[in-house]
Amino acid sequence: MRKTWLIFSQAVTVSVAVLFVVATLKPDWLRRSGQQGMLPNIVSIIEAPADSASGVLRAQSYSAAAKRATPAVVSITASKAPARNPHSNDPWFKFFFGDQGPNETQPQVGLGSGVIVSPEGYLLTNNHVIEGADDIEVQLADQRRARAEVVGTDPETDVAVLKIDLDKLPVITFGSADTLEVGDVVLAIGNPFGVGQTVTSGIVSALGRNQLGINTFENFIQTDAAINPGNSGGALVDAQGNLLGINTAIYSRSGGSMGIGFAIPVTTARQVMEGLIRDGQVTRGWIGVEPRDLTPEIAETFNLPIEEGVLITGVLQNGPASAGGLRPGDVVVKVGDADVTNTSQLLTAVAALKPREVTTIRVQRGDKALELKVTVAQRPKAPPRQVQPE
């Protein structure tokens, strides 16, 4: 009996010693054994398959949209010849100041972006990117370069159309800005600060932004996708890479992005482009009035039975509105079939009319609602970068 107990004690001691050695030198042997024997289901719940994890990452990536759109987005370098001093040919002037007088200025160079919209080489960009330029060079994403010809510009929407002569041009696909909703994902593509083509992402923050004092006709898409100097004229695209707008301006205290950027809807840009290519100019309607938003205070002062509309503060003598019977103090509430609640809507509604077209303008004159027939004229061409009243 004593011999049996001695053998048992020695066996236990050896087993404990072996277990101690294994636990110290090869602890993974014990964990693997325990997992296989006791926790077979927990492992399958905790560990996701490798392909499933990569699938989640692909679903959150916009690389396909970027690859589709970026080849059609170009960098634009617009340069203006230096202004020459009027006395530069005077021998005494050269004697004192040399060939480079104190008033000689260096060439002005501006950087921006553009979007190729047709295989024929037409590009959309901003008017302010190329305004006053003597030479415009376009660089494609594939590093090809070409001189650009100005087809036409429209300062009132800040849209310009250029043309380049190259083969096998990448072309962007037009999307639908009319179906955009706040919260939709968008990408901004351009050449900020001249560092090279850059893609940023964000969402649509607001639609129909106007009265910003940027252009005459404003209907901006607002986004928080980073837009910086050099992005002007670049593309705002959806999550599939379709063109939604032309990046135009930012709200900034520092000159850099603060999460408030504005893009011209592609619908507006396309209409302007077609007019410039077809006619060399954009033809818009005009009636010759000075408008102002109707406020509740003004409505109360004039005892008007309405609260929304556009107050006419001035009418051009012998102009279309005057001939149609419109008077200062009238409040426009409808142009044709379009309701009018602010100045921007009045400008847009009238501009959409064709010259020599007769339209019905509904106005509130005191306590009377009137319908006036007005023969629309062609809107005079605006001086660059100036806003004209309708």
- Tell me what pLDDT residue 44 has: 35
What Cα–Cα distance (Å) separates residue 181 from each residue in 103, 205, 238? 52, 9, 11
| pLDDT tens-digit map of 177-191 | 888 899 999 999 999
What Cα–Cα distance (Å) separates residue 173 from each residue in 59, 117, 191, 270, 277? 22, 7, 20, 12, 19
The CATH-assigned architecture of domain 285-378 is Roll (2.30)
Instruction: Identify the CATH assignment for 177-279 out of 1.10.3210.10, 3.40.50.300, 3.90.1150.10, 2.40.10.10.
Output: 2.40.10.10
Nearest CA among 90, 216, 197 for reference residue 157 = 216
- Is there a catalytic annotation at residue 118? no
- 292: phi then psi, degrees, rounded to nearest 5: -155, 140
Q: Print burial letters for 24-39: b (CB count within 10 Å at least 16), e (below 16).
A: eeeeeeeeeeeeeeee
CA distance 327 to 95: 65
What Cα–Cα distance (Å) separates residue 364 from each residue in 113, 263, 376? 46, 35, 20
pTM attached to this predicted model:
0.69
Structural tokens at position 375? 């023969």
Q: Which of 75, 113, 205, 232 is catalytic?
A: 232
- Is there a catalytic annotation at residue 158? yes
Structural tokens at position 239? 């999550």
Q: Which of 113, 128, 205, 257 is catalytic?
A: 128
| pLDDT tens-digit map of 111-125 | 899 999 999 999 999
- Tell me what pLDDT residue 26 has: 59
- Give the containing element (helix H, strand E) for 221: strand 220-223
Q: Which residues of the chain have pLDDT under 70?
A: 1-12, 14, 16-59, 82-108, 252-257, 382-390
Structural tokens at position 291? 């408008």
Residue 308's contacts (CB-CB under 8 Å, 6 or more residues apart) are 294, 333, 341
- Fold match flag (177-279 vs 285-378): no
Structural tokens at position 268? 């507006």
Q: Which of 75, 154, 158, 257 is catalytic?
A: 158
Structural tokens at position 351? 């501009």
CA distance 72 to 233: 12
| pLDDT tens-digit map of 177-236 | 888 899 999 999 999 888 889 999 999 999 888 777 777 777 889 998 988 888 899 999
The CATH-assigned architecture of domain 66-163 is Beta Barrel (2.40)
CA distance 359 to 365: 18
Q: Where are the domains of the chain?
A: 2-47, 66-163, 177-279, 285-378
- Tell me what pLDDT residue 24 has: 62
